[in-house]
Structure 1
Amino acid sequence: MMDFFKSQEGKAEILDLYDRKLESLELEVESQTVETAFGRTHVLVTGPKDGPPLMIVHGSNGCAPIAFETYPNLAKQFRVYAVDVLAQPNRSQGVRMSMSDDSYGQWMNELLGKLNLQSVVLVGFSFGGLVILKTLENDESRIQEVFLAAPAYIANGNPLKAMFKMFIPMKRYMKTLNRKYVDRFLAEIFTARDEFAMAYLPAVFQHFEMDFTPVPTIATAAAQQIQTPIHLFGAGQDLIFPGRKVLKRAQKIFPSLKSAVLLESSKHVQNRVDNDRIEQAVLASFQITLGSLK
C-alpha cells in the first residue's frame, strides 16, 4: 500500500510525534481502519457512542490528533470521527487523489458508507474544506450540515505573497535545516505559537513528499447545486485563502450558505479563542452551549 514518506526512519519520526500528540490528549479513542477504493483509511473515534455523528477533516500536512486538539469540546456531545486524510503524513495509506476531479468526494462518501454513517456533520479546516465541498458535489445525501474554517477551494490568495512569505522559507529550511526558516514560515501561518507544529512540521518538511499542486476553486455552477447548509469562517489575516475574499465569493455562489463569519485577526491557523467560536457555532446548531458542557 502506497505512502509518501521518504524513508522508514522519517516515517517513524513523524508517526512517533503523531502517537505522542494523541497520548497527550488523554482521550478514550478507538482506532479503525477502513479499506476504500483509494486506499487504507485510518480513523480515530471518540465521544458518546449514542451521540450524533460528526467527522473532522484536517488540513494539508496534518493528522487526526490535531483535529481532536483543535475542537476538543465536540466529543462531549458528538460521536466524533477524526479521519487521517490519504496521502498526508499520518496513518492512512493510499493514492494521492486529484483535486481537479471528484476523487476526494468519492473517497469520503465511500468512507462514510463503510462506517455506516448517516446525517453526518462535517467540520473541516483549510484543505479539509476542499475535501468536504468535493463530498457535497459528489453526493450530499449523507451530510446534515458542514462547518468550514479558512477553507480551500473557494478563493485563493496572492501567489507571489505566498511564495515569498511561505514557500521560500520552507524550501530554505529543507535545504539548510536552519530553524529560523521554520520560524518564519510558522509566523505567517499560525495566529498563536503551536509547540506541536514546531516539532511536527519540520519533520514533515524533511521526511515527507508534500503535494505542491495549485489548489483549484469550485465552479459557480457546482456550488449552486449544493443544498446542504454551509457555515463558513474566513480568516482575516490569511495569506493562503484570504477571509474577506473567501466570504465575498461564498456569499455569491452558495445558495445554502447559512452563516459567514470573518475572524478578523486570525491567520490561516486559528488560535484557541477563534476555535472556541467555531465550536460554539457547531454546538449552537444543536442548541448546546460550551458552558453547559463544562
Structure 2
Amino acid sequence: MSIYKTQYGREMSLKLYDAQLKKLDYSCKDVYVHTSFGRTHIIETGNLSGEPLLVFHGGNSTTAYNLLMYRFLLKDFHIYAVDIIGHPGKSDEVILSSNNYDYGKWASDVISGLGFDKIACFGVSYGGGVLAKLMCIAPEKVEKSVLIVPSGINNAFPISTVKMMIPLLKYKLTKKEKYIKETALFMAIKEEILDKDTLDMVKDSFDHVKTKVGMPSNVSEQLMQQCNAPSLIMAGEKDCLFPARKVLPRAKKIIPNGTVHMLKGCGHMHMMPEREKKMIVDFLSV
C-alpha cells in the first residue's frame, strides 16, 4: 500500500526531495541497506573525514528537508541521513506501528546494515521518537544521542493540535496557500520560520502524502534505563506537540546519562539558535 495519495504525488514528492538535496551544496551518495522490515535508503554526506552521525528526520517530512534545517551539522560530521521507512523518501513504503518498538528494531538493523557496531545518533520530532525506541531496544548501538523536539518521551496532544486541523481542512477545500501558512504557524509560532523550503515541504506533505497523525508512543522507563549513552535532549518552550514543560522533566527522570535544555520561545518548527547549534556540535565532538 503506497504512502502517497497518487503515483503523480509520489513523483512530485521525490522531485522536491532531490531539489532540496541539491541546495545543500555537498556531495550526496545514495546508500541502501536491507533491514528485516524492508530496504532502507540513506544519504551519505557532510564531512567524510568527520565522526559518523546517523540522522533521523521528522514525520510526514523528508531527510532532504531535515538536512537543510540542520545543515550546520554537515561541516563537522560524516552524515548518514536515513529515510524513515514508511515516510516520504526512497525507502520501502512499509508502514510500521508507532505504538510498539518496531522502529527501534528497524533503526538497529540500519546501524548493522551500515557496518557499525555503534554510532552517534541525532533525531528530530518523529525521528527523535524513533531514536528513543532505538535507545530502548539496542542501547549498546547508541554511542551518543541528540533528541530535538522529540516524540516518544512525553507526548502531549493539547487542544491546539485540534485547532490546527481547521486551516488544514480549509486548505483541502479551497487549495488556497494562505491556509498552509496558517496551519504551519501552529507549529512554528513565528512567521519568519516559514521560509520557502518549509512551506514547500508542508504543502507537499498535505498535497501528496497520506499524513500520519500517530507519533511514536512514549517509551518505557525500565527499557530506557538500560541506555547509558550520553544524551542531549532539547525541547521547545512553545511546542504544541511535545512541550518542554512535559518532555524535559520525564527525560531527566528516565534517561540515565541525559542533559536537558529548553529552546526558549521556540515552537515545534524552529530555526536552531546559534548558541544551541554550538552546544550540539560541542556535545557530539567531545
Report the 3-state secondary structure (helix = DSSP H, G, I; strand = E; otherwise coil) of the residue aligned with 1:225. Answer: coil
Distance 1:219 1:10 in 2: 37
Distance 1:215 1:133 in 2: 9
The TM-score, its normalising length taken from structure 1, stands at 0.90
Provide closer, same or farther for how the CA distance between residues 84 and 287 of structure 1 changes in structure 2, counting only shifts above 3 A. Answer: closer
The correspondence of residues 192-231 of structure 1 with structure 2, limited to 5 A, is 192-213=193-214, 215-231=216-232
Does the CA-based 8 Å contact 2:85-2:92 persist in structure 1? yes
The partner residue of 1:285 within 271, 283, 286 is 283
Distance 1:131 1:287 in 2: 22
RMSD of aligned C-alpha atoms? Answer: 1.8
1:266 to partner: Cα distance: 0.5
Matching residue of 2:271: 271
String of CA shifts for 1:8-38, please: whole Å, max 9, x gaps.
1111111111111111221111111222221
1:174 to partner: Cα distance: 2.1
Matching residue of 1:180: 178
How many residue pairs match? The answer is 283
Report the 3-state secondary structure (helix = DSSP H, G, I; strand = E; otherwise coil) of the residue aligned with 1:117. Answer: coil
Matching residue of 1:127: 126
Report the 3-state secondary structure (helix = DSSP H, G, I; strand = E; otherwise coil) of the residue aligned with 2:3. Answer: coil
Matching residue of 2:111: 112
Name stretches of at least 5 consecutive residues in structure 2 with no aligned partner: none
1:214 to partner: Cα distance: 5.5
1:286 to partner: Cα distance: 5.2
1:230 to partner: Cα distance: 1.3
Matching residue of 1:64: 63
String of CA shifts for 1:47-67, please: whole Å, max 9, x gaps.
343422101110011111123
The partner residue of 1:168 within 166, 188, 203 is 166
Matching residue of 2:30: 31
Distance 2:19 2:242 in 1: 30
Name stretches of at least 5 consecutive residues in structure 1 with no aligned partner: 289-294
Structure 1 consecutive aligned stretches of length 4 or more whose deviation exceeds 3 Å: 276-279
Matching residue of 1:292: none
Distance 1:158 1:6 in 2: 26
The TM-score, its normalising length taken from structure 2, stands at 0.92
Does the CA-based 8 Å contact 1:228-1:256 persist in structure 2? yes
Identity value in percent: 28
Report the 3-state secondary structure (helix = DSSP H, G, I; strand = E; otherwise coil) of the residue aligned with 2:225. Answer: helix
The correspondence of residues 91-102 of structure 1 with structure 2, limited to 5 A, is 91-102=90-101
